[in-house]
C-alpha cells in the first residue's frame, strides 16, 4: 500500500500501545462506562478481565525467562537454600546441555500464574450466578430512588436509564460495543501464523472465530455476574470487581481480586512497554521516525532511546489526559488501523502482480490498445463506463486496479457519511425523518452500486497462504463496522486524535518521507527497470 499507509498504521499503533500502557492501571473504569452507558448484560461486555487475566497465560508461557528470574530472586532472599538442595539432588543426573538442576520454583510460579488467569474469570462468573439477584435485571425507578437515598458514595451511582434488562436500549448496546472492542485487538496474532498452518484457509478462519467466541463468553459471563451482584448504576467506577464482592458480603474474595489485579496489571504494563519500544525502534530504523530512537545500547543490546521515549510519552499523557479520553484514544487508534487493514485487503486483491507483468499482461497490452483504438469513434466517457461493468480482461490489470482505487476511496467516503448519520441521529432515521432517511437510503444505494462495480472487476489470481473470503462484501462490512464504532467516540477524543495525527503528519512529511529506507527502496525498482 506504500509507506504513507505504513506510517499511519504504525503511528496509530504507537497511540494504541501508549494509551494501552496507561489503561493497564485504569481498566476498571471501563466496566462502569460500559455497564452504565450500554446497560445490562446485552452491552456491558467489558474488558476488565480477559486482556489482563484470561488469555494472559499465552503471553506468560511465552516468556519463561521471567519466571526463572523470579525464582532466582526469591531463592536469594531466603539464602539460596532451594537451589542448593536441588543442585545436590539432581545435578549428578542432569545432561551437560541442560541446566544443572530442574527449577521447580519457576515451574510452580508459571503454573500458579496460568491457573490464576484461568480460575479468576471462572470464579467470578460462578460467584455472580450464586450470589446474584435476577431482580437486578428488572430494576425500576423506585429501586433507584431507594439506592440513591441510602448511598453515601457519590461515585457509585450512575444514571438509571429505562430500567430492565437493556436499560439504555439498542443505542446503548452499540455505544458499549465501541468501548468493548478491546478484546479483538490481539486476534491478528492468529494471522501471523498463517505460513505455519497446514490449511490456513480453514485454520485461520476457525481459530479467529473460536478466539472471538471465547472472548465473547468470558466478557458476557463476567458482565452478567457483576450486573447480577450489583445494580448496574451502583457498579463502582474505579474498583468494580472487588467492590462487587464486598457488596454481596464476600470480603476475602475482594482482597484476592485486588491483589491479582495489581500483579496482572503490573506484568501487562511491562509487556506493553516492551512491545511499544520494539515498534518505535523498528520505525526509527526504517527512517519513518527519527533515527536516534533506534539507538541500541552497546553492552545490553536494548533500544534505550525507544524505551525512554515510550515511557516519557505515556507519562505526559497520564499527566494531561482524563482516563475516558485515554480509553477512547486507544480505541480510535486501533480501529483506524483495523479499518486500513480491511481497506487494504479490498484494494490489494484486485491489483496486478508486478512480478508477473512480463508474460500474459505484456501480451494483452497490445490487444487492449487495439480494442481502445477501435472504440475511439465511440464516446470516451461511454467506453470508461462500459469498462466499469464489462472489464476487458479476465485478470487484474493496471486499469482495473485504478478503478478499484477510485471505487474503494468513494466507498470509504460514503460509509463515513452513512455512519455519521446513523451514529448521531439514529432515532430520526428509523422514525422516518424525510431528510435524514432519504440521505441514508441514497447512501445505501450508492454503496451498493459501487460494490457491484468492484465485484465486476477481475481479482489477482496469485496463490496466497490465506485469502479473505466473500470479496468485496466482507471487507466492506468490516470497514463499515469499524467506521461506525469510531463515529460513536466523543468529539473530545476525536479532537485529541486529530492532534496526535497532526503531529504524526508533521513528522512524516518533514522527516520520514525523505529518510525512509523502505520508501526509497520501493521507488528504486521502477527507475532501474526503465534503464534496462
Task: Give tens-digit pLDDT for 79-130.
Answer: 888 888 888 888 787 777 677 778 888 788 777 777 776 777 888 888 888 8
Phi-psi region of 163 (alpha: psi -120 to 50; beta: other; left: phi over 0): left
Return the closest-CA partner of residue 211 out of 50, 400, 350, 381.
Answer: 50
Specify the pLDDT at position 506.
93
Most confident listed range (1-10, 192-201, 318-327): 1-10
Is the model more confident about 384 or about 156?
384
Return the closest-CA partner of residue 476 out of 435, 438, 419.
Answer: 419
Specify the pLDDT at position 46.
33
pLDDT band at 67 (very low <50, low <70, confident <90, very high): low
Return the closest-CA partner of residue 35 out of 182, 185, 139, 159.
Answer: 159
DSSP 8-state symbol, 193: T
Instruction: Give the whole-angstrom CA distance, residue 87 versus residue 101.
Output: 5
Specify the pLDDT at position 378.
42
Specify the pLDDT at position 442.
95
Per the document, the length of the chain is 532
User: Cα dihedral angle (252, 254, 256, 261), rounded to 10 degrees?
Assistant: 180
Look up the pTM and report it.
0.67
DSSP 8-state symbol, 465: S
- Rounded to an integer, the average pLDDT of 139-161 is 70
Instruction: Give the whole-angstrom CA distance, residue 237 versus residue 321.
Output: 17
Determine if the peptide bond prior to 349 is cis (ω within 30°): no
Collect all residues with Cβ–Cβ distance below 8 Å to 421 and sequence separation of at least 6.
Answer: 429, 436, 439, 440, 443
Lowest mean pLDDT among 51-65, 144-158, 449-463, 481-495: 51-65
Buried (b) or exposed (e) across 17-32, using 16+ Cβ within 10 A? bbbbbbbbbbbbbbbb
Are 173 and 166 in contact, with CB atoms under 8 Å apart? yes
Specify the pLDDT at position 439.
93
pLDDT band at 418 (very low <50, low <70, confident <90, very high): very high
How distant is the alpha carbon of residue 193 from its chain centre? 18
Phi-psi region of 81 (alpha: psi -120 to 50; beta: other; left: phi over 0): alpha
Is residue 250 scored above 70 in pLDDT? Answer: yes
pLDDT band at 448 (very low <50, low <70, confident <90, very high): very high
Summarised one tens digit per residue, pLDDT across range 469-500 is 888 999 999 899 889 988 888 888 888 889 99
Task: State the cell numbers at 394.
Answer: 479476465
Is the model more confident about 141 or about 74?
141
pLDDT band at 26 (very low <50, low <70, confident <90, very high): very low
Task: State the cell numbers at 346.
Answer: 479490498
236 three-class SS: coil
Instruction: Give the whole-angstrom CA distance, residue 160 versus residue 46.
Output: 19
Is residue 360 scored above 60 in pLDDT? Answer: no
- Rounded to an integer, the average pLDDT of 238-257 is 81
* Cell 511465552 sits on residue: 62
Summarised one tens digit per residue, pLDDT across range 362-407 is 444 444 444 433 444 444 556 667 777 777 777 888 888 888 889 9
Instruction: Give the whole-angstrom CA distance, residue 416 versus residue 340.
Output: 13
Domain boundaries, the chain: 14-141+164-322
Is residue 434 scored above 70 in pLDDT? Answer: yes
Specify the pLDDT at position 177.
77
Are 64 and 105 in contact, with CB atoms under 8 Å apart? no
- Terminus-to-terminus CA distance in the chain, angstroms? 25
What percent of the chain lies above the pLDDT cut of 90?
A: 9
Are 280 and 289 in contact, with CB atoms under 8 Å apart? yes
Amino acid at each position: 500500500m506504500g509507506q504513507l499507509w505504513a506510517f499511519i498504521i504504525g503511528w496509530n499503533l504507537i497511540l494504541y500501545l501508549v494509551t494501552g500502557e496507561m489503561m493497564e492501571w485504569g481498566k476498571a473504569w471501563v466496566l462502569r462506562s460500559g455497564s452504565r452507558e450500554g446497560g445490562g448484560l446485552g452491552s456491558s461486555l467489558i474488558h476488565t478481565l480477559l486482556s489482563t487475566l484470561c488469555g494472559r497465560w499465552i503471553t506468560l508461557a511465552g516468556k519463561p525467562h521471567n519466571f526463572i528470574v523470579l525464582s532466582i530472586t526469591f531463592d536469594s532472599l531466603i539464602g539460596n537454600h532451594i537451589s542448593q538442595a536441588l543442585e545436590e539432588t539432581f545435578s549428578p543426573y542432569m545432561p551437560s546441555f541442560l541446566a544443572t538442576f530442574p527449577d521447580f520454583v519457576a515451574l510452580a510460579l508459571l503454573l500458579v500464574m496460568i491457573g490464576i488467569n484461568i480460575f479468576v474469570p471462572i470464579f467470578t462468573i460462578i460467584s455472580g450466578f450464586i450470589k446474584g439477584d435476577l431482580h437486578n435485571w428488572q430494576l425500576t425507578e423506585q429501586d433507584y430512588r431507594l439506592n440513591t437515598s441510602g448511598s453515601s458514595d457519590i461515585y457509585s451511582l450512575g444514571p438509571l436509564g429505562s430500567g430492565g434488562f437493556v436499560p439504555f436500549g439498542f443505542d446503548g448496546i452499540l455505544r458499549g460495543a465501541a468501548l468493548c472492542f478491546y478484546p479483538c485487538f490481539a486476534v491478528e496474532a492468529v494471522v501471523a501464523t498463517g505460513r505455519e498452518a497446514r490449511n490456513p484457509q480453514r485454520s485461520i478462519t476457525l481459530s479467529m472465530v473460536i478466539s472471538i467466541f471465547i472472548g465473547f463468553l468470558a466478557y458476557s459471563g463476567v458482565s452478567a455476574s457483576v450486573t447480577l451482584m450489583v445494580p448496574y448504576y451502583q457498579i463502582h467506577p474505579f474498583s468494580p470487581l472487588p467492590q462487587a464482592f464486598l457488596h454481596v458480603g464476600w470480603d476475602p474474595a475482594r482482597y484476592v481480586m485486588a491483589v491479582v489485579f495489581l500483579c496482572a496489571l503490573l506484568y501487562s504494563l511491562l509487556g506493553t512497554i516492551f512491545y511499544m519500544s520494539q515498534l518505535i525502534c523498528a520505525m526509527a530504523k526504517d527512517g519513518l521516525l527519527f533515527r536516534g530512537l533506534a539507538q541500541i545500547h552497546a553492552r545490553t543490546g536494548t533500544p534505550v532511546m525507544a524505551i525512554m521515549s515510550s515511557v516519557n510519552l505515556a507519562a505526559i499523557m497520564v499527566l494531561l489526559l482524563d482516563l475516558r479520553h485515554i480509553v477512547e484514544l486507544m480505541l480510535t487508534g486501533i480501529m483506524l488501523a483495523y479499518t486500513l487493514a480491511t481497506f487494504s485487503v479490498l484494494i490489494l486483491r484486485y491489483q496486478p502482480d508486478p512480478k508477473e507483468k512480463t508474460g500474459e499482461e505484456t501480451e494483452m497490452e497490445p490487444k487492449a490498445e487495439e480494442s481502445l483504438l477501435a472504440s475511439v469513434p465511440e464516446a470516451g466517457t461511454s467506453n470508461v463506463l462500459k469498462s466499469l461493468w464489462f472489464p476487458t480482461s479476465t485478470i487484474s490489470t493496471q486499469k482495473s486496479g485504478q478503478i478499484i482505487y477510485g471505487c474503494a476511496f468513494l466507498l470509504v467516503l460514503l460509509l463515513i457519511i452513512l455512519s455519521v448519520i446513523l451514529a448521531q441521529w439514529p432515532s430520526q432515521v428509523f422514525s422516518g425523518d424525510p431528510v435524514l432517511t432519504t440521505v441514508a437510503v441514497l447512501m445505501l444505494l450508492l454503496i451498493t452500486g459501487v460494490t457491484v462495480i468492484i465485484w465486476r472487476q477481475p481479482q489477482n489470481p496469485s496463490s496466497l497462504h490465506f485469502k479473505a473470503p466473500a470479496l468485496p462484501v466482507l471487507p466492506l462490512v468490516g470497514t463499515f463496522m469499524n467506521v461506525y464504532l469510531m463515529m460513536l467516540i466523543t468529539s473530545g477524543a476525536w479532537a485529541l486524535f486529530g492532534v496526535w495525527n497532526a503531529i504524526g503528519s508533521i513528522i512524516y512529511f518533514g522527516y520520514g518521507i525523505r529518510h525512509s529506507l523502505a520508501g526509497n527502496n520501493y521507488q528504486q525498482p521502477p527507475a532501474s527497470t526503465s534503464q534496462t
